[in-house]
């Protein structure tokens, strides 16, 4: 019976995908470790260069209390902060983003980009401004939150999944609720699907793959947020929480946190 149980365990493990890149913050002692990366010393899980003029701890901080508590694989999560200094490279948009540092084939075949995100009532993201979250540079897939530029009204409380500026899924983004997400990207078929759950529930495909111009050089997925400016609405400090960040291929892992390290 023990042999049979071991075989079943092995088969179950093989059904999960293979982790191509691990961004679950487990190997970072603090956000200060992000500073070890540079263009001349490309080490660690992340490229850190899209941020404001302040010290790293103004924009990113790590803590076990910042992760989805249902994720037993991640040791900690990250709080990303937009404050009055979070302007990058002279732009008028507030930004704080990390990019995977890897040579793995995260832009080939069918892959799944996983992450969980949450907001709180303290320093909430504005419902009056457009936030582009976890996007590629061509914006072929991304999340958005808040009032979308050009739409009617003045506010929008919804978190939305978009492909090429078209919304395919939305829900009100309530404080304290962890949203678990996986982008199902088939770079060969030029399609993107959307997997989602809340809290500790297993991921489910909520939008079947749709056509998209899937284009990536493997170094242009932005974990974090870009906030568009809007006249009449002053900057306020905003916090975003992320955990369970990784990319896999093969069959999707639906358990929160992903395969063990």
Question: Is pLDDT above 50 for 211?
Answer: yes
E strands present in 121-175: 131-136, 142-145, 158-163, 166-172
Question: Is pLDDT above 50 for 12?
Answer: no
pLDDT in tens, 85-106: 999 999 999 999 999 999 999 9
Helix, coil or strand: residue 57: helix
pLDDT in tens, 224-242: 999 999 999 999 999 999 9
For residue 4, name the pLDDT band (cuts at 50, 70, 90): very low
Task: Domains for the chain: give ranges and CATH numbers.
Answer: 19-249 (2.60.120.1160)
Question: Is pLDDT above 60 for 217?
Answer: yes
Question: Is pLDDT above 50 for 176?
Answer: yes
213-217 long-range contacts, CB within 8 A, separation 24+: 213/138, 213/140, 213/164, 214/140, 214/141, 214/185, 214/186, 214/187, 214/190, 215/136, 215/138, 215/140, 216/106, 216/107, 216/136, 216/138, 216/187, 217/107
- Choose among 106, 137, 143, 120: nearest CA to 246: 106
Task: Look at 187 and 5; give whichever has higher pLDDT.
Answer: 187
pLDDT (average), residues 135-164: 96
Say what the pLDDT of residue 9 is.
35
Question: Is pLDDT above 50 for 169?
Answer: yes
Say what the pLDDT of residue 103 is.
95
For residue 10, name the pLDDT band (cuts at 50, 70, 90): very low
- Choose among 132, 125, 149, 110: nearest CA to 247: 110
Query: What residues form DSSP beta bridges with 135?
Result: 222
Task: Look at 2 and 20; give whichever has higher pLDDT.
Answer: 20
Question: Is pLDDT above 80 for 11?
Answer: no
Is the whole model's pTM more than 0.85, yes or no?
yes
pLDDT (average), residues 155-166: 96
pLDDT (average), residues 25-38: 97
Q: From CA 122, how far away is CA 120, in angstroms rounded?
A: 5
Q: From CA 217, how far away is CA 179, in angstroms rounded?
A: 27
């Amino acid at each position: 019976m023990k042999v049979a149980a071991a075989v079943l365990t092995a088969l179950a493990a093989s059904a999960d995908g293979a982790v191509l890149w691990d961004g679950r913050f487990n190997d970072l002692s603090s956000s200060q470790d992000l500073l070890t990366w540079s263009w001349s010393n490309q080490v660690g899980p992340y490229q850190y260069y899209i941020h404001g003029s302040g010290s790293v701890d103004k924009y990113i901080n790590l803590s076990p209390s910042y992760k989805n508590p249902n994720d037993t694989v991640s040791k900690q999560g990250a709080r990303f902060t937009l404050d009055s200094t979070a302007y990058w490279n002279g732009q008028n948009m507030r930004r704080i983003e990390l990019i995977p540092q890897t040579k793995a084939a995260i832009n080939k075949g069918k892959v799944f980009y996983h992450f969980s995100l949450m907001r709180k009532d303290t320093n909430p993201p504005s419902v009056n401004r457009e936030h582009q979250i976890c996007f590629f540079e061509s914006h072929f897939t991304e999340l958005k939150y808040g009032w979308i530029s050009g739409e009617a009204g003045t506010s929008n409380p919804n978190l939305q999944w978009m492909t090429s500026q078209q919304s395919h899924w939305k829900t009100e983004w309530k404080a304290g609720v962890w949203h678990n997400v996986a982008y199902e990207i088939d770079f060969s078929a030029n399609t993107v699907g959307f997997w989602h759950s809340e809290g500790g529930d297993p991921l489910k495909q909520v939008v079947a793959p749709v056509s998209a111009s899937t284009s990536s050089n493997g170094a242009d997925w932005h974990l974090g947020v870009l906030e568009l400016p809007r006249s009449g609405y002053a900057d306020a400090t905003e916090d975003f929480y992320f955990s369970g960040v990784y990319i896999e291929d093969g069959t999707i892992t639906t358990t929160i946190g992903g395969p063990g390290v």
